[in-house]
Structure 1
Amino acid sequence: MEKAIFTISLDFELHWGRLDKVQLQKMQYYYRNARVIIPRLLQLFEKYEIEVSWATVGMLFAENWEEWKAYLPDNKPYYRNPDLSPYHWVSQQGKTDGRSLFAPELIESIIQTPKQEVASHTFSHYYTMEPWQTFSQFREDLRAARKIAYDKFGLNLESLVFPRNQYNDDYQAICFEEGFHAIRSNPKDWFWKHTEDEKLIKKIFRTGDTVIPMGGKTHYSMETLDRRVGYPINIPASRLLRPYKKNSLFNRRRVDRIKSELSEAASQKKVYHLWWHPHNFGNYPEQNLLLLEEILQHFDTLREKFQMESKNMKSITEMFSKSPLKVI
């Protein structure tokens, strides 16, 4: 089964993923740009026949505040830090402009674009490593995410990305029990572990690693994927595509590094998993789209030279559907 695979997963969240970080009023222009960028991303993916998993916060499926309220779980996450909760945020902020919070028309455009998977980023951008939240709250959150996706678009969500990369192995069985067959986990490097504990040194190493090697290999073998009975397939991330920054000397270096890593993965028949947030392109959208297209063009040459394949998370799961699982 050893093949060279290029997979992309996107964390589609708009303000639900940043409400504890920055005021909505300061970000509305940024999100307006993101709403314009997403159709253009889809055009690029269709042009280069790229499969993508769009890990979408369930609240984005709602049309308006009334519909949002109708799908809220009874047992909501309770964090020691209440500022992390979207429910607390709404109670403090009030029901503000939904353009930065609801996006069913963009989800519809994803569905209508070939080779795209609508995946889950949980219903409420749920944090599995935060104190005081519980297994039962997480389970209800996943059920709310699956229900709104099915009711609105007839979707059975099958892949999941943990918000803020708060990957928690203890929650994998719940994911599987609630219908998720694949999850994205973090790179194995120490500076990607325990992302709820965001020490400055970790941020420095993660940023530096986009320019020079500071961790292990970013590619891996399909045969090494964690596949256990009663658990989803674990598909680790390889590299975060960081956005273009004005006057940065590292814009070119970051892209060249991704292309080099992708080439190495292709030549060795490995998996390379790129991810980012669509709203990351909100500043300097044209420059970001050009850099992304350069990466996709490079993949196109690798597809021709090494028969590297584009697969989203669901497609990778389907590749294993007839293979035996590990029994633990």
Structure 2
Amino acid sequence: MTFDHGVFTVSLDFELLWGVRETRTIESYGANLRGVREAIPRMLDVFAANGIHATWATVGFLFHRNADELRAALPPPSLRPNYVRADISPYEYIDAGQALDPLYHFAPELVERIAEQPGQAIGTHTYSHYYCLEQGQGLREFEADIECATEVARRAGLRLKSIVFPRNQCNEDYLAALARHGIVCYRGTQGGHAYAASDKAGQGYLRRATRLLDAYMNVSGHNTHALDSCFESAPFNFPASSFLRPYSSKWAMLDGLRLGRIKNAMTDAALNKRLYHLWWHPHNFGRNTAQNIAFLERIAEHYVLLRERHGFASLNMEELSELAATRLVDQTSLPAAEPA
């Protein structure tokens, strides 16, 4: 199977405090979370100006307006994960009667704004930022979580078709269940040992150091993907290629390397008609927003150049899955019978 052009895919893990709650506090990370309210509209402006389509994998809790609405929609205790690492569960935090400031916990107006913009799609990052490889949870609890995610999206007038597993804990045992909830594609993990899916205990110093180095130097390759391998069967796997690390004054002198690393991989995908999948979190742009947006604009400029020269196409995960489904039908359909 051959393809006419390469594909540039962007996905963002939209989670606010729910995604960092066990490792960060409002005191230590609040500026990043507050800055999301500015960063998302500015990212949307860059996407609109350059024709970039993106999937926003959104934690289901963010759809709610306040704590009362959230608590009324939670799955029953019998269907919640019972993680061995109790600190990673949001449910005790919620049940303890914490004052859930909407600034850090809810964002229905941002979800609506994203969904209204052409080329932008809302996917799921599970309902509760669910950890699929941690001990103390299973398929039953996962499906209850996804049911809540699809229901809260339905109430907002949205149909979820894609998933990004929190902490990239892609559990292959759960993939078959996705179709039962209308989810047809997911973001798989980037290739290489440093990016392999695991629970937190498996994410040691060496893996983290390797990923940091890989952001600036070509340690693991371009990590572009053959489109025919992504389109083999549903649910379709559109693996990650690179994490867009945020601006850091400590590493700013190496930003040319960081940009070049991304641009070279994009060029490889465009020339060889492959998939390049870039991802990050909106809260990564919550601080140093001007510098991060400027960096994103340079990526966008390179995308436009590749689009004009090589037909490089920007498709979100939902659009990619539609293309994949069409190809799959074309590949498996039989020719019409000859008339008698």
TM-score, normalization: structure 1? Answer: 0.95
Q: Residues 129-208 of structure 1 correspond to what in structure 2 (within 5 A)? A: 129-151=133-155, 153-196=156-199, 197-208=202-213
SS state of the match for residue 228, structure 2? helix
Counterpart check, 1:109 vs 2:85: no
- Quick one: distance in 2 between partners of 1:315 and 1:96? 35
Indicate conservation of the 8 Å contact 2:125/2:165, yes or no: yes
Runs (5+) with no aligned partner, structure 1: none
Partner residue of 2:14 out of 8, 12, 33: 12
Q: Residues 1-328 of structure 1 correspond to what in structure 2 (within 5 A)? A: 1-2=2-3, 3-74=5-76, 75-92=79-96, 94-151=98-155, 153-196=156-199, 197-225=202-230, 227-228=232-233, 231-248=234-251, 249-324=253-328
- CA drift of 1:143 comes to 0.5
Indicate conservation of the 8 Å contact 2:231/2:327, yes or no: no
- Quick one: distance in 1 between partners of 2:75 and 2:317? 27
Indicate conservation of the 8 Å contact 2:31/2:287, yes or no: no
Q: CA offsets, 1:85-134, max 9 Å, x none?
A: 11122234712312100000000110111100000000000000000101
Q: CA offsets, 1:182-202, max 9 Å, x none?
A: 000111211111342111000
Greater helix share, 1 or 2? 2
Cα 1:266–1:202 change in 2 (3 A) is same
Indicate conservation of the 8 Å contact 2:224/2:269, yes or no: yes
- CA drift of 1:247 comes to 4.0
Amino acid in structure 2 at the alignment position of 1:57: V
TM-score, normalization: structure 2? Answer: 0.92
Runs (5+) with no aligned partner, structure 2: 333-340
Identical amino acids, percent of aligned pairs: 36
Q: CA offsets, 1:40-76, max 9 Å, x none?
A: 1111111111110000000000001111112211211
Amino acid in structure 1 at the alignment position of 2:228: E
- Quick one: distance in 1 between partners of 2:243 and 2:171? 19
Relative to structure 2, which stretch is displaced further, 242-251 or 120-129? 242-251
Q: CA offsets, 1:274-305, max 9 Å, x none?
A: 00001001221100000000000110000000
SS state of the match for residue 323, structure 1? helix
- Quick one: distance in 2 between partners of 1:217 and 1:50? 20
